[in-house]
């Protein structure tokens, strides 16, 4: 789920007095010229970014066909996909920055008066610019050093891959500068830059003192500075990057090329290739009508019982989550189908968005969840085991939600609701079978060894295209390029966080923090039970502030070894961690998933605040059951 970095004028149309201009608003004088330059630049980036998504699908799918069906594997396919992937990540980050789609926390910023909010929105662009400028030269040095490393299969210098970093950083810097010039009040820009310059000067002048503080610097930079950036609305990736940059610059002698190397390493895990591909798959199932077919079948089965459509919503989110891997895509797919009928039956809009947000938290463990993939990439846990272990925990939480729904809708008036006939149910089933089959096709392909967790998304994409064209006959080719571009932007935003968090995690590890954390956590009274409770509380908080992916990249490598040493199965621990972060992500007041649900449902966030309390309590009970009974997570592992 992303916290979009949005130009203030888009969210506040009446901000003319702050000298902000929306991207499509006619500008006068020199601002019009800046706007034209920005649009031309981003068009030059969007096209190759979209084509890179398509290229990844082709390369990986052809690799599957050649290896499994032709029995003649292409030895260079994974290597080429890895090279294209880092370029996709960096160009996608550029598009995300221009569109205002980098993840950030805006709850506190949005509550401020308009003038103060405008200043923080300017800071949200200026602070990343500082990081981008500071990292440009180290990234060039890193790319030059990689000239001496040869990619074995392609037999070309690794600079072909590493060059994506300086190119992406430079383009993001240009975009950030153009956004500042085009959008912001010059006095605000001058004030924000003066503030950032003063902070830098304090760091430089205080370097001799900071170097004597030892691990206190971890609190200053990785707690204080990160928290200040996140709560001020600076995108999470850049908050991490700036904290790491400041820590290394002011307290150590480590070269900044190390940070670039760690970013490259974090974004280069081949398993992360599934991120853009599953995002694209989620968009495809909505466009082809597959999601609507699944929801229609469930509605024909349960639409006549009290709270029936709420059960359908829970079940539909379970099924759709198993396909798209993106919570925003899941909610957007089922909401237009169910909400109008539920409101017609008397359901309160606030209760609907509360349940929608709760189902988002419930289905976080259903494969192919992006968080599952991230955990596997940073902790070494088997992706296949995570996929198998994630199904039952979501069922447990779903049952808890259904129990609450049954109680809340016990007096629902169904006098005007007609029960679907057997013929109608069978017809709905026949229509939905190709769509319902997709999650099973994906899982079977992994379990049977046809494709890896990285490649299996391409099978889903090809399947969805074929079903959309030949069966549902819904495939709007005009939407294809925008979908590919949106996929690149969202993927770039996610992957930049992973890269920045990897650099930050490296700095934490080098400081000795990981060993100290392991010692403290391992010494807690109560052993594994206390460790599990502390982990649940910690990840609920982290999920509400940092979201799942950055929190996992930062703390997964630190905490999973501790869990293993205490005898906790790593798949069981992964499920508890993911569900805990899901609760934080979708719980107000900070959880951005909740606000995403209200935006998709077209309901005021205030309306869902009261009803979501009960749903969150039900989810918490379900989480406690999953934590207490490992069988729910590991009972179906091979």
78-121 confidence digits (pLDDT tens): 889 889 999 999 999 999 998 888 877 776 787 788 888 888 88
Range scoring the smallest mean pLDDT among 213-222, 297-306, 535-544: 297-306
> How many angstroms separate the CA atoms of 365 and 354, rounded?
19
Average pLDDT over residues 539-554: 73
Instruction: For 479-538, write each residue's pLDDT tens digit.
Output: 999 999 998 998 888 788 878 878 887 887 777 776 676 677 777 787 788 889 988 998
> What is the distance between the alpha carbons of residues 555 and 559, in angstroms, rounded to a whole number?
6
SS3 156: strand
Same domain, 247 and 274: no
Higher pLDDT, 126 or 19: 126
Distance (Å, rounded) from C-alpha 369 to C-alpha 271? 12
- Same-domain status, 332 and 313: yes
Same domain, 581 and 480: yes
* Contact by Cβ (8 Å): 181, 123: no
Residue 555 shares a structural domain with residue 425: yes
Beta bridge partners of 151: 156
The number of beta carbons lying within 10 Å of the beta carbon of residue 423 is 8
Report if residue 1 sits inside a domain: no
Answer yes or no: is 2 within a domain. no
CA pair distance 453, 380, nearest whole angstrom: 13
Tell me the mean pLDDT in the region 406-411: 82
Name 204's bridge partners.
none
pLDDT of 27 reads: 47
Distances 522 to 101, 255, 505, 568 between C-alpha atoms, Å? 39, 33, 20, 12
Kindly state whether residue 3 falls inside one of the protein's structural domains: no
Higher pLDDT, 408 or 573: 573
pLDDT at 414 (0 to 100): 67
Whether residue 275 is contained in a domain is answered as yes
Q: Percent of the chain, pLDDT > 90?
A: 25
The tally of CA atoms less than 13 A away on the side-chain side of residue 374 is: 31
Half-sphere exposure of 110 (CA within 13 A, CB side): 17
Last residue of a domain, one of 225, 242, 268: 268
- Pick from 268, 294, 320: which residue ends a domain? 268
Residue 4 has pLDDT above 90, yes or no: no
Which region among 1-10, 164-173, 385-394 has the lowest average model confidence (pLDDT)?
Answer: 1-10
Task: Quote the pLDDT of residue 328.
Answer: 67
Residue 459 domain-assigned? yes
pLDDT at 638 over 80: no
pLDDT at residue 3 tops 50: no
Same-domain pairing of 248 and 366: no
Q: How far is CA 620 from CA 79, 362, 583, 627, in A?
A: 43, 10, 8, 10
> Do residues 281 and 287 touch, judged by C-beta distance below 8 A?
no
11 pLDDT more than 50: no
246 with 295, same domain?
no
Which range has highest mean pLDDT (142-156, 282-296, 335-349)? Answer: 142-156
* 262 and 273 inside one domain: no
Residue 141 CB-density burial (10 A; 0-12 exposed, 13-18 middle, 19+ buried): middle
Residue 136's SS3 state is: helix
Distance in angstroms (rounded) separating the CA atoms of residues 505 and 520: 18
**527: in domain:** yes
- When pLDDT is averaged across residues 224-230 and rounded to a whole number, the result is 87
DSSP 245: H
- Mean of per-residue pLDDT scores for the chain: 82
Predicted local distance difference test score (pLDDT) of residue 74 = 87
Q: What percent of the chain has pLDDT over 70?
A: 89
**Are 197 and 331 members of one domain?**
no
Q: Are 61 and 465 in contact (CB under 8 A)?
A: no
Residue-level pLDDT at 442: 79
**For the chain, how long is the longest CA-to-CA vector?**
80
Torsion sign (Cα): 447, 449, 455, 461: negative
- Over residues 271-298, the pLDDT tens digits come to 777 778 877 887 888 788 887 787 788 7
Q: Are 400 and 619 in contact (CB under 8 A)?
A: yes
Same domain, 263 and 281: no
- How many whole angstroms separate alpha carbon 606 and alpha carbon 618? 20
Q: Cα–Cα distance between 259 and 496 in angstroms, integer?
A: 13
> For residues 307 and 346, what is the distance between their CA atoms, to the nearest angstrom?
11
| d(C-alpha 222, C-alpha 508), whole Å | 9
Is the domain of 492 the same as that of 469?
A: yes
Is 390 or 10 the better-scoring residue by pLDDT? 390
Q: Tokens in use for 37?
A: 């330059």
pLDDT at 17: 29
Answer left, alpha or beta for residue 449, where phi above 0 means left and psi between -120 and 50 means alpha. left
230 and 138 part of one domain: yes
Question: Do residues 251 and 277 both lie within one domain?
Answer: no
**Segment of 3-7, 455-459, 627-631 carrying the highest mean pLDDT:** 627-631
Bridge partners, 154 (sequence order): none
* Res 308: pLDDT: 78
Q: How many domains does the chain have?
A: 2
Of 252, 268, 284, which closes a domain? 268
Residues 568-605 pLDDT 10s: 999 999 999 999 988 988 887 667 678 778 767 777 77
Residue 411 and residue 307 in contact, taking contact as beta carbons nearer than 8 Å: no
pLDDT at 267 over 50: yes
Domain of 556, in residue numbers: 269-638
Residue 6 has a pLDDT of 35
Burial of 523 (0-12, 13-18, 19+ CB in 10 A): exposed
HEC string of 426-483?
HHHHHHHHHHHHHHHHHHHHHHCCCCCCCCHHHHHHHHHHHHHHHCCCCCCHHHHHHH
- pTM of the entire predicted model: 0.76
CA distance 487 to 79: 21
Higher-pLDDT residue of 279, 237: 237
Indicate the pLDDT class of residue 545, thresholds 50, 70 and 90.
low
Give the pLDDT band of residue 143 (cuts 50, 70, 90). Answer: very high
Q: How confident is the model at residue 8 (pLDDT cuts 50, 70, 90)?
A: very low
């Amino acid at each position: 789920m992303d916290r979009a970095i949005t130009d203030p004028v888009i969210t506040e149309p009446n901000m003319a007095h702050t000298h902000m201009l929306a991207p499509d608003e006619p500008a006068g004088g020199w601002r019009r010229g800046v706007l034209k330059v920005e649009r031309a630049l981003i068009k030059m980036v969007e096209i190759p970014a979209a084509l890179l998504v398509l290229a990844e699908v082709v390369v990986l799918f052809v690799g599957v066909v050649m290896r499994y069906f032709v029995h003649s594997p292409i030895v260079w396919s994974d290597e080429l996909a890895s090279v294209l992937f880092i370029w996709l990540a960096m160009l996608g980050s550029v598009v995300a920055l221009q569109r205002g789609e980098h993840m950030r926390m805006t709850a506190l910023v949005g509550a401020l008066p308009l003038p103060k909010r405008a200043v923080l929105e300017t800071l949200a662009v200026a602070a990343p610019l500082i990081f981008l400028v500071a990292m440009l030269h180290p990234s060039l040095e890193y790319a030059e050093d990689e000239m001496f490393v040869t990619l074995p299969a392609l037999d070309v210098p690794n600079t072909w891959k590493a060059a994506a970093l300086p190119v992406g950083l430079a383009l993001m810097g240009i975009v950030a500068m153009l956004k500042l010039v085009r959008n912001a009040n010059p006095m605000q820009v001058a004030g924000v830059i003066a503030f950032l310059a003063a902070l830098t000067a304090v760091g430089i002048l205080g370097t001799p003192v900071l170097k004597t503080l030892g691990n206190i610097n971890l609190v200053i930079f990785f707690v204080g500075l990160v928290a200040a950036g996140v709560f001020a609305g600076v995108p999470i990736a850049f908050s991490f990057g700036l904290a790491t940059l400041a820590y290394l610059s002011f307290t150590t002698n480590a070269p900044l090329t190390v940070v670039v190397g760690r970013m490259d390493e974090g974004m280069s895990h081949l398993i992360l290739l599934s991120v853009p591909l599953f995002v694209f798959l989620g968009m495809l199932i909505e466009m082809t009508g597959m999601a609507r077919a699944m929801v229609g079948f469930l509605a024909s089965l349960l639409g006549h019982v009290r709270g029936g459509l709420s059960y359908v919503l829970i079940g539909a989110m379970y099924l759709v989550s198993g396909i798209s891997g993106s919570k925003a895509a899941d909610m957007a797919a089922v909401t237009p189908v169910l909400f109008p009928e539920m409101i017609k039956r008397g359901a309160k809009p606030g209760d609907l968005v509360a349940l929608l947000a709760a189902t988002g938290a419930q289905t976080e463990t259903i494969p192919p969840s992006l968080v599952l993939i991230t955990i596997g990439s940073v902790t070494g846990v088997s992706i296949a085991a995570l996929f198998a272990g994630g199904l039952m925990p979501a069922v447990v939480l779903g049952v808890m939600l259904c129990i609450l729904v049954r109680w809340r809708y016990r007096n629902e008036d169904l006098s005007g609701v007609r029960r679907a006939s057997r013929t109608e149910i069978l017809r709905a089933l026949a229509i939905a079978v190709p769509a319902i089959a997709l999650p099973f096709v994906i899982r079977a392909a992994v379990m049977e060894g046809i494709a890896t967790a990285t490649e299996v998304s391409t099978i889903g994409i090809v399947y969805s295209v074929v079903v959309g064209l030949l069966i549902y006959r819904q495939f709007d080719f005009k939407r294809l390029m925008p979908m590919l571009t949106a996929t690149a932007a969202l993927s770039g935003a996610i992957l930049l966080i992973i890269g920045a968090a990897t650099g930050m995690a490296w700095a934490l590890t080098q400081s000795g923090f990981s060993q100290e954390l392991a010692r403290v956590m391992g010494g807690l009274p109560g052993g594994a039970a206390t460790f599990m409770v502390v982990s649940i509380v910690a990840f609920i908080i982290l999920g509400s502030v940092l979201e799942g992916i950055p929190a996992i990249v930062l703390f997964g490598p630190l905490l999973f070894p501790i869990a293993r040493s205490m005898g906790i199965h790593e798949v069981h621990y992964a499920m508890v961690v993911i569900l805990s972060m899901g609760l934080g992500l979708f719980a107000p007041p900070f959880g951005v998933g909740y606000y995403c649900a209200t935006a998709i449902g077209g309901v005021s966030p205030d309306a869902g605040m009261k009803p979501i309390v009960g749903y969150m309590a039900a989810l918490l009970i379900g989480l406690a059951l999953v934590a207490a009974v490992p069988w729910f997570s590991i009972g179906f592992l091979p």
